[in-house]
Amino acid sequence: MKFSEMPYKRIDMEEVEKEYKSIIERTKNAKSGEEQFEIHREYYKFTADVQTSMELAMIRHDIDTTDEFYEKESDFYDEVGPIISQYENEYGKVLYDSPYRDYLESKIGKVTFKNIEIANKAFDEKIIPLMQEENALSSRYSKLIATAKIPFEGEVYNLSLMRKFQTSPDRELRRKAWKAVSDYFLSVTDEIDEIYDKMVKNRTEQARQLGYENYVELGYYRMNRNCYDKEMVENFRKQVKEYFVPFANKQRIGVEKLSYIDTDVYFTNGNPAPVGTPEEILAAGQKMYSELSPQTKEFFDFMMENELFDVLGRKTKRQGGYMTYIPNFKSPFIFANFNGTSGDVDVITHECGHAFQGYLLRDEEIREFADITMETAEIHSMSMEYFAYNWMELFFGDRKDDYLKMHLEDSAAFVPYGCMVDEFQHIVYEKPEMTPAERKAVWAGLEKVYRPHMDYEEDPFFGQGGFWQKQPHIFGSPFYYIDYCLASVCAMQFKVMMDEDFEKAWKNYYKLCNLSARDFFTNVIVEAGLNSPFEDGCMEKLVDKFEKKAFNR
């Protein structure tokens, strides 16, 4: 069904609560594992209905954050979301404690029960009011960023539409654009500090009410970290500092200092931009996926036929991009903000990597197998960016090679940045009493470790440790960002593999997509022919191979 034709109806919480209670009670009283599994099938149908309504409301609110109807719907789900989580946990506990656990595990997998265990550690009814407040704070930040009005060159733009000016080949125009963005953030930095300070204190209080010292442990549970812990992540960041930071810094033209207004510009004549209109970019994507494999052709045709892209940048549209899934219509959906930069093509590769995996599992009855953790999900997307390399001429014409060089350098630079975001959050939540000024000082200090080449030229916002305030994951999805780094390291391994044997790499990637959550992240990547990014030596070997093969050095 086309997205525009998908009917929306707000869920009736009385009916939702009644159905949850019925499913929970009948599961408790079931006389066999087979009976419990039949009830679980009813649970799939019921929760798909609930999730479909929630997803449609979220997407349509994000498409236009000034739409009063969907703003009210979004506020409604902010309120009832924690209540639904409560019922989800209650049902999970019944499954977890079932006398027929072995049978259920044979049907829905051992990962499911580990996830239930983690979910139980991350929730209690008593913290629902705090969770509702947290949701409201997150929505407040998102709306503040989405509705930014930045006067520039006689027009008014939002942050997404400013991007093309911030990466302009005209250095003076670039400087003015960055200044305009800096001025905007200076005008709202106190409000963002207030929002984040309340978030940190709120999340810390949630953690303490659940018996944790601080939010870090709870944050890991909220991210469903089911096969690695804080110490393993810390060791990963240590390897990044030792091997990846020097590697990434070496890629950028060998300068000791790189002005912040130049850091996203890779060529003196400007970054390669996609040729053609948004419609032509989507058409090029359709051609690319029709040639990559029969499965990707079927997937992309489905997306186009059913209006499952909303990618045009608009002034009242939420910032950023994502893929989500609408269960009742078995439809991935891609949301983005095209702005005339190479990032528009990254949507067709990165977000389509997510969507392709979702499409592959659309007919899988055991929905837990699709319930992947985020580091696994990001391998699907980041690897697809590399698999698409052979078709970049469709998007960039004679600047294809420039795009590939830029993408490789940007990928190398991202890993240290992502680790910086992660370490910043660990410090913040381990010391929740810090003032806003102290948090900015922490960020400024981490910049010297992870991005020693960066020169903010005493900019009054960026130069004072404010850059993190434009990173939405820090506000809405704490501790998410390291997942991108872990996935990036895995995707780079696929890049090395495809340079040696493209068919083998695609076969392993396809296998990874189908494995999804049938096993834990640390196991499925090995089954797909990859090395664990947590292992000592992984980073050193990868940097050596990636530099020699991808950069041909």
Mean pLDDT of 26-36: 98
How far is Cα of residue 489 from the mean position of the Cα atoms in its chain? 16
Q: How confident is the model at residue 340 (pLDDT cuts 50, 70, 90)?
A: confident
Percent of the chain with pLDDT over 90: 88
State yes or no: pLDDT of 509 exceeds 60.
yes
Query: Picking from 97-101, 162-166, 441-445, 468-472, which range would have the lowest pLDDT averaged per residue?
Result: 162-166
What does the alpha-carbon distance between residue 413 and residue 250 come to, in Å, rounded to a whole number?
10
- Residues in contact with 482: Cβ distance below 8 Å, sequence separation at least 6, in sequence order: 233, 236, 237, 375, 418, 419, 421, 422
* Per-residue pLDDT at 268: 85
Neighbours of 12 (CB within 10 A): 11
**What is the average pLDDT score of the chain?**
94
pLDDT score of 253 = 47
Render pLDDT for 275-316 as a digit per residue (tens, 0 to 9): 999 999 999 999 999 999 999 999 999 999 999 999 988 888
What are the helix and strand counts (H, E) for the chain?
Answer: 24, 7
pLDDT confidence of residue 551: 66
Reported as a pLDDT band with limits 50, 70 and 90, residue 354 is very high
In 88-162, DSSP assigns E strands to 150-152, 155-157
Look up tokens 């890991």; give the residue. Answer: 220
End-to-end alpha-carbon separation of the chain, Å? 49
Half-sphere exposure of 521 (CA within 13 A, CB side): 24
* 155 contact partners, CB below 8 Å, separation of at least 6: none
Starting at the edge strand that comes first in sequence, how are the strands of the sheet with 309-312 ordered? 309-312, 331-338, 322-326
- Helix H or strand E encompassing 331: strand 331-338
Tell me the residue ranges of DSSP E strands in 50-208.
Answer: 150-152, 155-157
Q: Token pair of 88, please?
A: 């989800």
Handedness of CA 123, 209, 73, 373 (dihedral sign): negative
| Partners of residue 335 on adjacent β-strands | 310, 322
Length of the chain: 553
476 within 8 A of 135, measured Cβ to Cβ: no
Amino acid at 110: K
* Contact by Cβ (8 Å): 494, 383: yes
3-state secondary structure of 510: helix
Asked if the model's pLDDT at residue 258 lies above 90, the reply is: no
Percent of the chain with pLDDT over 70: 98
The model's pTM: 0.90
CA dist 218 and 207 (Å) reads 6
> Residue 3: pLDDT above 80?
yes
